């Protein structure tokens, strides 16, 4: 449980990647401004037949699954008691925080009357029949929980700081803009002392927050599946089943473990750190079991509802179904070999296959398998895509900057540095 498992990644913040991501972010957020001034119709191809497009399908339904790394790793560490995975958790929590926070932000871009969102907190307006109500409350609560889970990193940093960057800044601008160096430094010092005071208290209750952070995704990830239960006349029978909640829950777990692997490998590569192969192969040994259960439920359900014929028809819908199925299945089959689980390259390939397959499943349920009737077409507009790209860029940008400011990445020990890259 110690906070010493992590370290700040000491590197330049303003890298070329930083600028590219910043440009994409600015484009995305400018288009969001357009949306708020001229309406949703001005930037998107959404219609009364396809009221939910790529913002809900990718940013919310798929984005939160991809943000389930924190959830999946937390189950492993705190419930299954595998403490040696603890070093992975902070970066997983940070990506989850970004994923969920920005999913919530996308929802605010997507909904037409966001100023009425306070009704979620008005008990007389509560609507327990609605899966959306459940999802909304849980996602808000979980984002708060993730923020608290990430607080130790911020508090640790605050305690150790000597405010060197702030000092440089203040020295430069002393006297200008009404800045008074001693007063500000005094206030900053108070903040530091406060952090020292809060940290032990937070540590005591943190476990209950962490467990809440395991309960909430279990609830709302299954409810994300429940959302489409109502669309019995619009969602293709290959995907419309009473097992949607169960399938979405298992789906987010295997996406969660796989994305934790991907993130770790990508950041090791990007930040030129050694790969955490040992831990990752451990994670990779879990996913095939989850995907096996998921694939069994999918097939069993299709047989039960007599839809196997539809699945093998090789038409548009069956094609996407088979693609989703094969991506998940091939990724999992490859992982049953222990040798492949030891290789960063194979870990990366299999995790990518499983994430792609799992994400395609969510696209199939929310968009591709959704047919509101004759005459309706949907394909996202460029502006719509750029808004999503902007939000995702902001997410990666934030992650890159924060790991260089706060102790997030696993601490490198002497013997690990020599690991093969």
Partner 1 sequence: MSTKSRREFLKLAGLAGASLVAAPAVALAGHPAAASNDEELGMLYDATKCVGCKACMSACKRVNGDYGALSYEQAKFDPDKLWDAPKDLSGSTRTLIKLVKESPKEWSYVKYSCMHCQKPSCVSVCPVAAMTKDKQTGIVDYNKNTCIGCRYCQVACAFNIPKFQWEKAIPQIVKCDLCKNTNLKQKGISACAEVCPTGAIMFGKRKELLAEAKKRLSDQPKRYINHIYGEHELGGTNHLYLAGMQFKKLGLPELKSEAPAEFSEKIQHTIYKGFIAPVALYSTLCFIAVRNMKKSSGQDHDHTDHDGGKQ
Site for partner 1 in 71-130 (CB under 8 A): 78-81, 83, 107, 110-114, 116-117, 119-120, 122, 124-130
**Binding residue (CB under 8 A) for partner 1 from 27, 230, 295, 405:** 230
CB nearer to partner 1: pick between 215 and 310 = 215
Count of residues of this chain found to bind partner 1 when the rule CB under 8 A is applied: 74
Q: How many CB atoms lie within 10 A of CB 155?
A: 22
**What residues between 132 and 171 interact with partner 1 by CB under 8 A?**
132-134, 136
> Interface with partner 1 by CB under 8 A: which range of 11-19, 188-196, 213-221, 262-270?
213-221
What's the rounded Cα separation, in Å, for the pair 260 and 292? 19
What's the rounded Cα separation, in Å, for the pair 87 and 308? 44
Of the CA atoms within 13 Å of residue 57, those in its CB half-sphere come to 24
**Binding residue (CB under 8 A) for partner 1 from 3, 234, 313, 404:** 234
Minimum Å gap between C-beta 269 and partner 1 is 26
* 300 touches partner 1 (CB under 8 A): no
CB nearer to partner 1: pick between 125 and 337 = 125
> Interface with partner 1 by CB under 8 A: which range of 8-16, 91-99, 174-182, 209-217?
209-217
**Binding residue (CB under 8 A) for partner 1 from 212, 292, 405, 419:** 212
Nearest Cα residue to 173 out of 189, 184, 158, 187: 184
* 242 touches partner 1 (CB under 8 A): yes
3-state secondary structure of 148: helix
Nearest Cα residue to 71 out of 149, 6, 136, 7: 149
CB nearer to partner 1: pick between 242 and 319 = 242
Nearest Cα residue to 28 out of 380, 382, 363: 382
Minimum Å gap between C-beta 129 and partner 1 is 5
Give residue 172's Cα distance to chain centre.
Answer: 39
**Binding residue (CB under 8 A) for partner 1 from 68, 131, 146, 392:** 131
Minimum Å gap between C-beta 299 and partner 1 is 15
Minimum Å gap between C-beta 346 and partner 1 is 25
* 245 touches partner 1 (CB under 8 A): yes
CB nearer to partner 1: pick between 198 and 229 = 229
What's the rounded Cα separation, in Å, for the pair 242 and 174? 65
One character per residue 188-207, x = contact with partner 1 (rule: CB under 8 A): -------------------x
Minimum Å gap between C-beta 325 and partner 1 is 20
Give the long-range contacts of residues 413-421, CB within 8 A, separation 24 or more. Answer: 416/274, 416/276, 417/274, 418/274, 419/274, 419/275, 419/277, 420/274, 420/275, 421/272, 421/274, 421/275
3-state secondary structure of 133: helix
- Tell me if 212 sits within 8 A of 202, measured CB to CB: no
Nearest Cα residue to 49 out of 277, 238, 231: 231
**Binding residue (CB under 8 A) for partner 1 from 25, 91, 106, 241:** 241
**Binding residue (CB under 8 A) for partner 1 from 14, 164, 208, 339:** 208
- Tell me if 64 sits within 8 A of 139, measured CB to CB: yes
One character per residue 394-413, x = contact with partner 1 (rule: CB under 8 A): -------------------x
> Interface with partner 1 by CB under 8 A: which range of 234-242, 254-262, 313-321, 343-351?
234-242
- Tell me if 326 sits within 8 A of 276, measured CB to CB: no
> Interface with partner 1 by CB under 8 A: which range of 63-71, 142-150, 222-230, 331-339?
222-230
3-state secondary structure of 410: strand
What's the first-to-final CA gap in the chain, in angstroms? 28
CB nearer to partner 1: pick between 151 and 185 = 151
Minimum Å gap between C-beta 130 and partner 1 is 4
**What residues between 6 and 65 interact with partner 1 by CB under 8 A?**
36-42, 46-49, 51-52
- Tell me if 41 sits within 8 A of 122, measured CB to CB: no
């Amino acid at each position: 449980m110690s906070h010493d498992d992590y370290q700040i990644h000491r590197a330049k913040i303003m890298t070329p990647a930083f600028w590219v991501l910043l440009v994409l972010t600015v484009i995305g957020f400018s288009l969001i401004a357009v949306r708020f001034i001229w309406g949703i119709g001005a930037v998107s191809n959404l219609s009364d037949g396809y009221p939910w497009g790529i913002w809900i399908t990718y940013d919310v339904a798929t984005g939160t699954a991809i943000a389930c790394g924190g959830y999946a790793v937390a189950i492993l560490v705190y419930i299954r008691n595998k403490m040696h995975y603890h070093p992975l958790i902070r970066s997983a929590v940070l990506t989850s925080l970004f994923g969920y926070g920005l999913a919530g932000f996308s929802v605010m871009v997507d909904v037409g009357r966001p100023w009425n969102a306070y009704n979620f907190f008005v008990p007389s307006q509560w609507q327990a029949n609605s899966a959306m109500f459940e999802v909304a409350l849980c996602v808000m609560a979980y984002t708060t929980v993730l923020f608290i889970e990430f607080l130790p990193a911020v508090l640790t940093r605050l305690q150790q700081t000597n405010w060197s960057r702030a000092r440089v800044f203040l020295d430069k601008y002393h006297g200008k803009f009404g800045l008074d160096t001693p007063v500000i430094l005094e206030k900053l010092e108070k903040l530091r002392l406060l952090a020292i005071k809060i940290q032990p208290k937070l540590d005591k209750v943190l476990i209950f927050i962490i467990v809440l952070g395991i309960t909430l995704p279990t609830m709302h990830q299954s409810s994300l599946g429940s959302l489409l239960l109502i669309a019995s006349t619009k969602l293709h029978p290959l995907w419309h089943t009473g097992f949607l909640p169960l399938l979405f829950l298992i789906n987010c777990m295997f996406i969660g473990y796989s994305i934790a692997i991907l993130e770790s490998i990508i950041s090791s590569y990007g930040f030129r750190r050694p790969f955490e192969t040992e831990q990752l192969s451990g994670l990779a040994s879990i996913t095939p079991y989850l995907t096996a259960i998921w694939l069994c439920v999918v097939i069993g359900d299709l047989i039960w509802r007599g839809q196997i014929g539809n699945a093998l028809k090789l038409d548009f819908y069956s094609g996407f179904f088979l693609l989703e199925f094969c991506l998940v299945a091939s990724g999992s089959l490859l992982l049953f070999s222990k040798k492949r689980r030891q290789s960063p390259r194979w870990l990366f390939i299999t995790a990518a296959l499983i994430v792609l397959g799992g994400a395609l499943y969510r696209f199939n349920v929310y968009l591709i398998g959704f047919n509101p009737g004759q005459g309706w077409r949907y394909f996202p507009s460029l502006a719509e895509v750029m808004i999503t790209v902007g939000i995702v860029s902001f997410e990666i940008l934030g992650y890159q900057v924060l790991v260089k400011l706060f102790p997030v990445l696993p601490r490198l020990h002497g013997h690990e540095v020599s690991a093969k890259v």
